Amino acid sequence: MDIDDFFKKLEEAYGNPKSKCAALLKICLLVQGKLSVSVYAAEFRPVAAELDWNEAALVHQFMVGLRQDIQYLMLSLPNPATLVDTINAAIKCDIRIQSCKSPVNPFLALSSAPTPIPMDIGSVFMPSSLLPSCYCACFCLLQADSTAEAT
Protein backbone atom coordinates (compact mmCIF):
# COMPACT_ATOMS: atom_id res chain seq x y z
CA MET A 1 0.00 0.00 0.00
CA ASP A 2 1.46 3.33 -1.06
CA ILE A 3 0.78 6.82 0.34
CA ASP A 4 -1.96 7.63 -2.22
CA ASP A 5 -3.93 4.54 -1.22
CA PHE A 6 -3.49 5.48 2.42
CA PHE A 7 -4.94 8.97 1.82
CA LYS A 8 -7.84 7.52 -0.19
CA LYS A 9 -8.69 5.13 2.67
CA LEU A 10 -8.37 7.97 5.16
CA GLU A 11 -10.71 10.18 3.11
CA GLU A 12 -13.23 7.34 2.73
CA ALA A 13 -13.27 6.84 6.48
CA TYR A 14 -13.31 10.47 7.64
CA GLY A 15 -14.22 12.54 4.60
CA ASN A 16 -12.24 15.36 3.10
CA PRO A 17 -11.44 17.97 5.76
CA LYS A 18 -10.83 20.58 3.08
CA SER A 19 -14.36 20.16 1.69
CA LYS A 20 -15.89 20.70 5.15
CA CYS A 21 -13.77 23.81 5.59
CA ALA A 22 -14.79 25.08 2.15
CA ALA A 23 -18.46 24.37 2.90
CA LEU A 24 -18.18 26.24 6.20
CA LEU A 25 -16.65 29.24 4.49
CA LYS A 26 -19.21 29.14 1.69
CA ILE A 27 -22.24 28.95 3.99
CA CYS A 28 -20.93 31.83 6.11
CA LEU A 29 -20.45 34.01 3.03
CA LEU A 30 -23.71 33.03 1.33
CA VAL A 31 -26.28 35.84 1.33
CA GLN A 32 -29.52 36.40 -0.54
CA GLY A 33 -28.67 39.78 -2.02
CA LYS A 34 -30.87 40.46 -5.06
CA LEU A 35 -31.79 36.77 -5.45
CA SER A 36 -35.23 35.47 -4.69
CA VAL A 37 -35.54 33.42 -1.50
CA SER A 38 -36.16 30.31 -3.62
CA VAL A 39 -32.83 30.70 -5.44
CA TYR A 40 -31.03 31.53 -2.18
CA ALA A 41 -32.50 28.41 -0.54
CA ALA A 42 -31.50 26.30 -3.56
CA GLU A 43 -27.91 27.49 -3.11
CA PHE A 44 -28.04 27.11 0.68
CA ARG A 45 -29.31 23.52 0.91
CA PRO A 46 -26.47 21.65 -0.85
CA VAL A 47 -23.87 23.53 1.17
CA ALA A 48 -25.79 22.85 4.40
CA ALA A 49 -25.90 19.14 3.53
CA GLU A 50 -22.09 19.02 3.57
CA LEU A 51 -22.00 20.25 7.16
CA ASP A 52 -22.92 18.30 10.28
CA TRP A 53 -24.75 21.23 11.89
CA ASN A 54 -27.92 20.79 13.92
CA GLU A 55 -31.26 22.21 12.76
CA ALA A 56 -31.08 25.33 14.94
CA ALA A 57 -27.67 26.31 13.57
CA LEU A 58 -28.86 25.86 9.99
CA VAL A 59 -32.00 27.92 10.62
CA HIS A 60 -29.92 30.69 12.20
CA GLN A 61 -27.42 30.78 9.34
CA PHE A 62 -30.20 30.79 6.74
CA MET A 63 -31.88 33.73 8.51
CA VAL A 64 -28.58 35.63 8.73
CA GLY A 65 -28.19 35.40 4.96
CA LEU A 66 -31.66 36.73 4.17
CA ARG A 67 -32.23 40.30 3.04
CA GLN A 68 -33.16 42.68 5.83
CA ASP A 69 -36.69 43.35 4.54
CA ILE A 70 -37.46 39.61 4.62
CA GLN A 71 -35.96 39.31 8.10
CA TYR A 72 -38.16 42.15 9.37
CA LEU A 73 -41.32 40.67 7.90
CA MET A 74 -40.48 37.26 9.38
CA LEU A 75 -40.37 38.86 12.84
CA SER A 76 -44.16 39.11 12.66
CA LEU A 77 -44.48 35.33 12.17
CA PRO A 78 -44.15 32.54 14.74
CA ASN A 79 -40.66 31.06 14.94
CA PRO A 80 -40.36 28.17 12.47
CA ALA A 81 -39.12 24.93 14.02
CA THR A 82 -37.20 23.49 11.08
CA LEU A 83 -35.13 24.69 8.16
CA VAL A 84 -37.89 23.62 5.75
CA ASP A 85 -40.47 25.68 7.69
CA THR A 86 -38.09 28.64 7.74
CA ILE A 87 -37.50 28.44 3.99
CA ASN A 88 -41.25 28.18 3.30
CA ALA A 89 -42.02 31.17 5.53
CA ALA A 90 -39.25 33.21 3.91
CA ILE A 91 -40.55 32.37 0.43
CA LYS A 92 -44.04 33.55 1.44
CA CYS A 93 -42.56 36.79 2.81
CA ASP A 94 -40.56 37.30 -0.39
CA ILE A 95 -43.66 36.80 -2.54
CA ARG A 96 -45.56 39.24 -0.36
CA ILE A 97 -42.86 41.89 -0.63
CA GLN A 98 -42.54 41.43 -4.39
CA SER A 99 -46.30 41.75 -4.83
CA CYS A 100 -46.21 45.10 -3.03
CA LYS A 101 -43.40 46.32 -5.27
CA SER A 102 -45.21 45.33 -8.46
CA PRO A 103 -46.50 48.22 -10.57
CA VAL A 104 -50.01 46.76 -10.66
CA ASN A 105 -51.68 47.92 -7.46
CA PRO A 106 -55.46 47.53 -7.29
CA PHE A 107 -55.77 50.55 -5.01
CA LEU A 108 -54.25 52.84 -7.63
CA ALA A 109 -57.15 52.08 -9.97
CA LEU A 110 -59.25 54.37 -7.75
CA SER A 111 -57.24 57.39 -8.90
CA SER A 112 -58.26 56.87 -12.56
CA ALA A 113 -61.99 56.90 -11.76
CA PRO A 114 -63.85 59.94 -13.03
CA THR A 115 -64.38 62.70 -10.51
CA PRO A 116 -67.99 62.59 -9.31
CA ILE A 117 -70.25 65.51 -9.93
CA PRO A 118 -71.23 67.24 -6.68
CA MET A 119 -74.59 66.18 -5.34
CA ASP A 120 -74.51 62.89 -7.27
CA ILE A 121 -76.39 60.41 -5.12
CA GLY A 122 -74.34 57.29 -4.50
CA SER A 123 -71.09 58.77 -5.79
CA VAL A 124 -67.89 58.20 -3.87
CA PHE A 125 -64.98 60.58 -3.90
CA MET A 126 -61.60 59.82 -2.40
CA PRO A 127 -58.93 62.52 -2.63
CA SER A 128 -55.62 61.33 -4.08
CA SER A 129 -53.90 62.23 -0.83
CA LEU A 130 -55.85 59.41 0.87
CA LEU A 131 -55.00 56.68 -1.65
CA PRO A 132 -53.22 53.79 -0.02
CA SER A 133 -49.49 53.42 -0.48
CA CYS A 134 -47.71 50.12 -0.02
CA TYR A 135 -44.70 49.89 2.26
CA CYS A 136 -41.92 47.32 2.11
CA ALA A 137 -43.46 45.44 5.04
CA CYS A 138 -46.49 44.96 2.76
CA PHE A 139 -49.07 46.51 4.99
CA CYS A 140 -51.31 48.80 2.99
CA LEU A 141 -51.90 51.87 5.07
CA LEU A 142 -53.80 55.05 4.42
CA GLN A 143 -51.43 57.97 4.49
CA ALA A 144 -52.90 61.44 4.65
CA ASP A 145 -50.95 64.09 2.79
CA SER A 146 -49.98 66.90 5.14
CA THR A 147 -50.30 69.46 2.34
CA ALA A 148 -53.91 68.45 1.70
CA GLU A 149 -54.75 68.98 5.37
CA ALA A 150 -53.23 72.45 5.33
CA THR A 151 -55.34 73.57 2.39
Note down the domain range covering 7.
3-101
Give pLDDT, residue 3.
83
* pLDDT, tens digit, 9 for 90 and up, residues 1-40: 788 888 778 777 776 667 788 888 899 999 999 999 999 9
* pLDDT, tens digit, 9 for 90 and up, residues 48-99: 998 989 999 999 999 999 999 999 999 999 999 899 999 999 999 999 998 8
Give pLDDT, residue 112.
53
Q: Does some domain include residue 70?
A: yes
Q: Does some domain include residue 119?
A: no
Sign of dihedral through CA atoms 69, 79, 61, 102?
A: negative
Q: Does some domain include residue 107?
A: no
Q: Give the DSSP H/E element, type plus range, for residue 98.
A: helix 83-101
Sign of dihedral through CA atoms 101, 104, 107, 108?
A: positive
DSSP 45-87: HHHHHHS---HHHHHHHHHHHS-HHHHHHHTTSPPPSSHHHHH
Q: Does some domain include residue 106?
A: no
Q: Does some domain include residue 109?
A: no
Domain containing 73 — which CATH number? 1.10.1200
Name the band, by pLDDT with cuts 50, 70 and 90, for residue 144: very low
Q: Does some domain include residue 130?
A: no
How distant, in Å, are the alpha carbons of 42, 89, 103, 111 from that of 131?
A: 38, 30, 15, 8
Is residue 47 predicted with pLDDT exceeding 80? yes
How distant, in Å, are the alpha carbons of 22, 135, 141 from that of 69?
A: 29, 11, 17
Higher pLDDT: 140 or 129? It is 129
User: Which one-letter amino acid corresponds to residue 104?
Assistant: V
Measured N-to-C along each axis, helices 83-101 and 55-65 cross at an angle, to the nearest 10 degrees, of: 20
Q: Does some domain include residue 147?
A: no
Give pLDDT, residue 13.
76
The phi, psi pair for 64, rounded to 5°, reads -60, -35
**Number of folded domains that form the chain:** 1
- What is the rounded average pLDDT for all residues in the chain? 75
